[in-house]
Amino acid sequence: MENMMKFIVAKFVLVLLVSTTRAHTVFDVTAEGAKPEGDASQALMAAWGKACACTEPSKILIPKGLFLLSPVTLQGPCKCAVELEVQGTLKASSNNKAGKEGGWVTFQRIDQFTLTGEGIFDGQGEKAWGACGTNFCDKLPINIRFDFLNNSLVQGITSLNSKQFHINVLGCNNLTFQSVHVTAPAESLNTDGIHIGRSCGVNIIDTIIHTGDDCVSIGDGAKNVSVTNVECGPGHGIAIGSLGKFENEEPVLGITIKNCTLNNTDNGVRIKTWPASTDNTASSIHFEGINMNNVSNPILIDQVYCPWNRCNAKVPSRVKLSDISFKNIKGTSSTPLLMKLVCSSGIPCEAVEVADIDIKYTGVGPTQAQCTNVKPTISGVMSLPECTEAVAPTAAVAAGPAA
C-alpha cells in the first residue's frame, strides 16, 4: 500500500514535470485562418506574433495537410521559448522569389527556439535547377535559414527539393539538428544539405542527406561543430570550405566528423581552399570512422580549388591548415586516386595524421595516393600505396566543379 502510494505520488510528480516543461499555449495556424491548400503565410505570421509575445513557453502548430507558403521571416527576440511543430507539407511558390535575407523560410534572432515535427518543407526547386545553368544560382532562395539563433533545436523535419542550399546556419550559438532529412536528386544544382558559417557549437546527428551538392559544408567562422551518424549520398560529400574566396573570413576551428556513411558521392571527406586567397586558418579538423561506398576522391585536401577557373591558380592559397586527421576510413572508391592531399606551396599543411585507412578501388589497376606540400604521419592499417609528390598524368582525377 505504501509502495502503491509512493508510485502514485511519483507518477503525479512526473506528470507535473512533463507538463511544465511542455509548451503551455498552442497557436494552431488553422485557428489563425490558414486553410488546407491555401496560403498559410499570414496565419503563420499572426501565430508567430502571438507566440513570440507570450511570457510562457508556447507552441505554434502547422497540422497535417498541404499549405502554400510565401517567403517568410520569423523573427525574435521572443519573450520566452517558442516551438514550431510542423506536421503538414509546406509548399513554396515555383517562382524564384526569396525573402530579404535570401531564404524561403527564415528564423532569426531567437533564443531557445525548437523546430519539430514530421513535416516537409517543399522548395519546389525542380524548375529552378534547370533555369540556372552555370549562373551559380546566387539569388535563388535557400529553403530554411537559421540566422543568429541561440540554444536551439531542429528535429525530425524534411527539406525537399530546395531551389538553392537546403539549410543555412549563420551566426548561431548552440544549435542542434537531429534526425533531419534532406532530399533532392543528384542533378539538383547548388543544393548543399546543411551549410554552417560563423557559428559556434553546431551539432548534426542521426541525419540523412541525399542531394545534388555538398552533404554538409562548413564555411568560415565555424567553431566547435560536430557531425555524427550522418548518411550522405548522392551529393558531393562532406566539405570544409571552400575557404579564402572573400575578404575578412574568420578561422575554422574544432570540427569533428564521426561515424558517417557516404554512398556514391562525388567526393568523400575534403577540405578546399582557393588559390590567391585572403589570410585565414583552419585547424583541429578530425574525420573519424567514415564508411564510403563507391565514392570518388575519398580523402581530399585541395588548396588549389578553383572551379570554372575563376581564380589565379598560380598564386598559392594563404589559408593555413593544421591539426587535421583522417582516421578509420573504410569502404570503396570508384576512382584509383584514393587519397589526394594537395596543400599550399606558400603555407604547407602542418600536423596531418592519416591512420587506419582501408579503401578498395572498385575498378582494376593500380591505386595511388598523392601528398603535395604535406608530410602526413601515417599509421595503422593502410590499404593505400605510398604517398607520392605528384600523380602520373594517366591517373589524374579532376576534383570536379563542385560548389
Ligand X SMILES: *[C@@H]1O[C@H](CO)[C@@H](O)[C@H](O)[C@H]1NC(C)=O
Catalytic residue among 122, 192, 213, 266: 213
- Tell me the closest approach of the beta carbon of residue 61 to ligand X, in angstroms: 19
3-class secondary structure, 153 = strand
Q: Whose Cβ is closer to ligand X: residue 264's or residue 278's?
A: 264
Distance, in Å, from the CA atom of 243 to the CA atom of 197, rounded to the nearest integer, reads 11
272 residue type, one letter: K
Looking at beta carbons only, is 66 or 186 nearer to ligand X?
186
CB of 361 to ligand X, least distance (A): 11
Which lies closer to ligand X via its Cβ, residue 68 or residue 115? Answer: 115
**Residue 236 is among the residues annotated as catalytic for this protein:** yes
Least distance in angstroms from the C-beta of 213 to ligand X: 15
DSSP assignment string, 64-90: SSEEE---EEEE---SS-EEEEE-SEE
266 in Cβ contact with 237 (< 8 Å): yes
Q: Provide the minimum distance between the beta carbon of 251 and ligand X in the complex, in angstroms, as a whole number.
A: 14
CA–CA separation, 301 and 279 (whole Å): 17
DSSP string, 261-295: EEES-S-SEEEEE-SS---EEEEEEEEEEEEEEEE
DSSP 8-state symbol, 3: H
Neighbour count for residue 203 (Cβ, 10 Å): 16
How many residues make up the chain in this entry?
Answer: 403
CA distance 324 to 303: 14
Residues 6+ apart with CB under 8 A from 76: 52, 82, 108, 109, 110, 111, 113
For the bound state, the minimum distance from the C-beta of residue 201 to ligand X, rounded and expressed in Å, comes to 4
Q: How far is the CB of 97 from ligand X (least distance, A)?
A: 27
Task: For residues 126 and 42, give the distance between their C-alpha atoms in angstroms, rounded to a whole number.
Answer: 26
Active site residue 147: no
Residues that bind ligand X (CB under 6 A): 76-77, 109-111, 150-153, 173-174, 176, 201, 203, 224, 229, 231, 259, 261, 263-264, 293-294, 296, 334
Catalytic residue among 181, 214, 236, 266: 236
Q: Which of residues 36 and 77 has its CB atom nearest to ligand X in the complex? A: 77
Residues whose CB falls within 8 Å of the CB of residue 233, separated by 6 or more in sequence, listed in order: 210, 215, 261, 262, 263, 264, 265, 293, 295
Q: Which of 316, 315, 318, 326 is nearest to 387 (CA)?
A: 326
Q: Which is nearer to ligand X, 122 or 288 (CB)?
A: 288
Active site residues: 213, 236
